[in-house]
Amino acid sequence: MLVAGLAAWRAGLDAAGDALYAAMAVILVLVCAPRARAWVAGAAALGWCVVVELAQLTGGPAAAVEAVPALHLLLGTTFAAGDLVAYVVGVGAVVGLDALSVRAAGRRVTIEATEGAAMPKTKRSGAAKQDEIPATLQRSDAKAQRTFAHAYDAAIEQYDGDEDAAHRVAFAALKHTHEKVGDSWRPKDEPGPSDRRAEEGYGSTAPTAGGVDASATKEHLVGVARELDITGRSRMTKTQLVDAIDAENRRRSR
- Domains for the chain: give ranges and CATH numbers: 2-116 (no CATH), 130-252 (1.10.1740.70)
Q: How high is the pLDDT of residue 62?
A: 78
C-alpha to C-alpha distance for 248 and 254, rounded to whole angstroms: 10
Torsion angle, alpha carbons of 237, 242, 245, 247, to 10: -110
pTM of the model: 0.54
C-alpha to C-alpha distance for 222 and 46, rounded to whole angstroms: 85
Q: How high is the pLDDT of residue 148?
A: 94
pLDDT in tens, the chain (254 residues): 444 444 444 444 467 767 778 788 888 888 888 777 888 888 888 888 888 888 888 878 777 767 777 666 667 667 778 878 888 887 888 888 877 776 665 555 334 434 445 678 888 888 999 999 999 999 999 999 999 999 999 999 999 889 999 999 999 999 999 999 999 999 998 899 999 888 887 788 888 999 999 999 999 999 999 999 999 999 999 999 999 999 999 999 98
Q: 204-240 as b/e, with b when 16 or more CB fall inside 10 Å? A: eeeebbbbbbbbbeeebbbebbeebebeebeebeeee
For the CA atoms of the chain, what is the radius of gyration?
A: 37
C-alpha distances out from residue 146 to 48, 152, 175, 188, 207, Å = 63, 10, 13, 15, 25
Q: How high is the pLDDT of residue 1?
A: 44
C-alpha to C-alpha distance for 99 and 101, rounded to whole angstroms: 5
How many CA atoms, within 13 angstroms, populate the side-chain half-sphere of residue 203?
3
Instruction: Choose among 177, 174, 182, 175: nearest CA to 226.
Output: 182
